[in-house]
Amino acid sequence: MTENKIHIGGLTLKVLTDGILEFDPCVFFPSTNEDDWIPHKSHLNHNSNVVFELSCYLIESQSHTILIDTGMGPNPNVQDPNFPELSNAWGIFDKSLANNHIDPKDVDHVVFTHAHRDHIGWATIGSGDTISPMFPNATYWLNEKDWDATFDETISNRFPNASTKLWPLKDFDQLKFFDESTVIVPEITLIPSPGHSPGHYCILVQSEGNGVLIPGDLLHNIAQFEHFEWISRADIEPNDTIQSRKSVFELIVNKGLIVAGSHFASGFGTLDYIEHQYQWRSVEL
User: Minimum distance between the CB of residue 198 and Zn ion, rounded to whole angstroms?
Assistant: 15
C-alpha to C-alpha distance for 8 and 109, rounded to whole angstroms: 18
- 89-148 residues in contact with Zn ion (CB under 5 A) are 118
Stretch of 43-51, 185-193, 214-222, 272-280 lying at the interface with Zn ion (CB under 5 A): 214-222
**Is 217 an interacting residue with respect to Zn ion (CB under 5 A)?**
yes
What is the size of the binding site for Zn ion (CB under 5 A)?
Answer: 2
User: Minimum distance between the CB of residue 116 and Zn ion, rounded to whole angstroms?
Assistant: 5
User: Minimum distance between the CB of residue 189 and Zn ion, rounded to whole angstroms?
Assistant: 21
Contacts 24+ apart (CB under 8 A), 127-136: 127/164, 131/164, 131/168, 132/168, 132/172, 133/168, 133/169, 133/172, 133/174, 134/70, 134/104, 135/67, 135/104, 135/105, 135/107, 135/110, 136/104, 136/105
118 vs 235 by CB, closer to Zn ion? 118
206 vs 221 by CB, closer to Zn ion? 221
109 vs 200 by CB, closer to Zn ion? 200
User: Minimum distance between the CB of residue 185 and Zn ion, rounded to whole angstroms?
Assistant: 24
C-alpha to C-alpha distance for 255 and 211, rounded to whole angstroms: 8
217 vs 235 by CB, closer to Zn ion? 217
C-alpha to C-alpha distance for 58 and 11, rounded to whole angstroms: 10
User: Minimum distance between the CB of residue 186 and Zn ion, rounded to whole angstroms?
Assistant: 27
Yes or no: say if 50 and 43 are a contact pair by the CB < 8 Å rule: yes
23 vs 37 by CB, closer to Zn ion? 23
Please, which residues have CB within 8 angstroms of residue 130's CB and are 6 or more apart in sequence? none
* Residues engaged in binding Zn ion (CB under 5 A): 118, 217
